Structure 1
């Protein structure tokens, strides 16, 4: 399998939630943006009634609330739409990519549980975390510590999502896709430089 083949099964993800605790708060929206730009993206809203809110999350979600209220799906319908999207776009299991992706995965598992599923089909339990890759690059002296957070990484790699798209699932997933590609390019250069030493 070539590297290009492997990249075709990778999807950048982001979720927006009513807070940080998957045992108390709810997933409100999710976006899947394939690393392969020829494949279409997916954005879904999940609305199963007014959730418990954390103040910061409520502020971030204010602009998305009208779409959430108008287009929000039940957990069952959201899982069905997500599975249909993966099967149509990929035909096989995908691996998700995210920044601090454990957060996103925890809420995807919550979504599956609320739909009566043990897990979401066609999504590998293995993940790629850009924060982990950045941390390894930092420990190797390749990037500064202030490039580890999402905001810092976007600044360091000159990724500028529109202000209106920041803290939306689709906007952040698109920015994460760009971040992953830039990090992969930097990793390649760092590996070459190491080999030449």
Structure 2
């Protein structure tokens, strides 16, 4: 049932956001050229690597495709990229990941290998389900980028403070997810994007 919901929900959103996505693509090209999408290897269910899609919000850095993660570094973020990140519209291409079956609409956010390796035992529990576009951790850490930018050591802050808290949210989700809880998370996500 979750897979059917994911597929139908993704189709509906892709149809609704087709025109905005085309406009976003054009703006990215006009500001900083191609590519429009940022594609990065992330770790999915059962530890299987997949390629996750986002609208590109930073200047091109080839190493990022393989999982380089410059936490707290906003120096490469483009003008349109700042808007996309604040509005979370950069996540829209992940609806394609949902259609492919790599991701669900709701589920623990997928990480790069670097951060999965930081807490392997906890991730082993989390990766029993498909990663998602949104979850309670996404709502709670709505302003994560600002927190990291203010840190003297963004990598340490992410590894030792933010990521363990995220994993607690993920573990709670895995131990007791349901359609009702998924709809609640979707509602809270929309509320956070529109009003925060």
Give the structure-2-normalised TM-score: 0.27
> If each structure's strand is expressed as a fraction of its own residues, which one has the higher value?
1
> If each structure's helix is expressed as a fraction of its own residues, which one has the higher value?
2
Give the structure-1-normalised TM-score: 0.27
